[in-house]
Structure 1
Amino acid sequence: MTRSVLFDPEHLADERRALYDELRSGPRADPDRPGGPVDSRGRLTGPFNAMLHSPRVGGPLQRLGAALRYESSIDDRVREMAILLVAGRHDCAVERITHQRIARDIGISEETIGTLERGEVPASFDDGTHVTAAAALELAERMLDREPPDDAGFERLQKVLGPDGVFEVSSLVGYYWTLAHQLNLFAVEPIEDRSEA
């Protein structure tokens, strides 16, 4: 059963057209960034097509995602590791494939990617982000396990990540958790070809 057809950009009107145009002109459309929001026929891919079902919710949701990916203070490598942990825990192929590409492009090791794909936190990191990555992934893991840190643990995480970092990592996990569930719900298939991701 097809749960969500790809919207044809030639037949979009009103709020859907506005959201489509916003996604096409925003940071995700930057040719210097890996991936992109459309396929070779100009249709939105991944979670973005589903957002057109409800532009009033999809618009703010995609803007949150853009802020987390392109404006956050989280190191790019730490961000991608946290996303891959969420994807691994939720068995979300679209998130996993898309963000594995990005992770490789920014120098995350295959060993680390493989560990995160299994939904596990690596014991160490070989890319110079150990302290920050360990704290961010501890927080992500606790959120995914629904076991928030106690006061002492929260204070320790804040010392490493700062209050803004704790807020941004927790928002990142919540956002990609939401996308993973939506992608799985709508049975969105990954696009293997980089030019169409």
Structure 2
Amino acid sequence: MARLRRTPPHELDPEARALYDKITSGPRGRFMVDGAGGLTGPFNAMLLSPAVGDPLQELGAAVRYRSRLTDRARELAILVVAGHHDSAFEQAAHEPIARTLGFTEEQLRALREGAPLALADPGEAAVLRVTRALVADGDLDDEEYAALGERELFELTTLVGYYATLALQLRVFRVRPSGPDPAP
């Protein structure tokens, strides 16, 4: 059962409403809005503290829309983090995106389960190897460190940290991929 009620926009205080408007008018659009206008996923919790939630959602926008990671590399890394943390919401949100980028059901299952996965693209294989090391060990050996350029590695470690934070918040607030809101 979800622990956090989704607050309709007309019930938000001015600071939370400003953050709501920023999230729903940005690159994510209204993708994370339920039928009653409440924010779904990790964004609902961000409204609890706009002073922290706004920089957090800005970080998410930066790693999703402004990094040099390719779309496939980014979604690959997100799904490794989601699989490692068993984050059903992130899997449900990002697997459809990955499908549009050409990931197969077999590849998605391997990412969900942390199973071996051979990727033909050497850059994507490096992102997979490095991301799995980051979530498993929180560090990289010299070979893993050298597998990517430093800028790509910085962006990837930031992405991994951001999605690990979301996985924690989604778990603590018991956010499900879909379903009705908890009672007020």
TM-score, structure 1 normalization: 0.85
Whether the 8 Å CA contact 2:2–2:176 is kept in 1: the answer is no
Aligned to 2:14: 14
Q: Is residue 182 from structure 1 mapped to residue 169 from structure 2 by the alignment?
A: yes
Distance between the aligned counterparts of 1:173 and 1:191, measured in 2?
24
Partner of 2:26: 26
Pairs within 5 Å for 1:1-197: 2-29=2-29, 36-122=31-117, 124-125=118-119, 130-154=121-145, 156-157=146-147, 161-191=148-178
Contact kept? 1:86, 1:119, Cα under 8 Å? no
Aligned residues of 2:129 and 2:144 also touching (Cα < 8 A)? no
User: Aligned equivalents of 1:89 and 1:176: distance in 2?
Assistant: 11
Unaligned stretches of 5+ residues in structure 2: 180-184
CA distance 1:102–1:62, change in 2 (3 Å): same
Q: Percent identity?
A: 47
> How many residues in Structure 1 have an aligned counterpart in Structure 2?
179
Q: Provide the C-alpha distance between the structure 2 equivalents of 1:152 and 1:23, rounded to a whole number of angstroms.
A: 38
Distance in 2 (CA, whole Å) between partners of 1:16 and 1:57 is 11
Unaligned runs of 5+ in 1: 31-35, 193-197
State how far apart, in whole Å, the 2-side matches of 1:64 and 1:37 are. 17
CA distance in 1, matches of 2:109, 2:97: 14
Shift of 1:17: 0.7
Distance in 2 between residues matched to 1:169 and 1:80, nearest whole Å: 11
Structure 2 vs 1, CA of residues 153 and 117 (structure 1 numbering), >3 Å: closer, same or farther? closer
C-alpha distance in structure 2 between counterparts of 1:121 and 1:66, whole Å: 30
In 2, the alpha carbon distance for the partners of 1:106 and 1:14 equals 38
CA distance in structure 2 between the aligned counterparts of 1:15 and 1:43, rounded to whole angstroms: 15
Provide Cα deviations, 1:26-50, integer angstroms capped at 9, x if missing partner.
Answer: 00007xxxxx121122110100001
CA distance in 1, matches of 2:142, 2:99: 35
What's the offset of the Cα at 1:13?
1.9
C-alpha distance 147-23 of structure 1, shift in aligned 2 (>3 A): closer
SS at match of 1:27: coil
Which contiguous aligned blocks of 4+ residues in structure 1 show a shift greater than 6 angstroms? none
Deviation at 1:125, TM superposition (A): 2.0
TM-score, with structure 2 as normaliser: 0.91
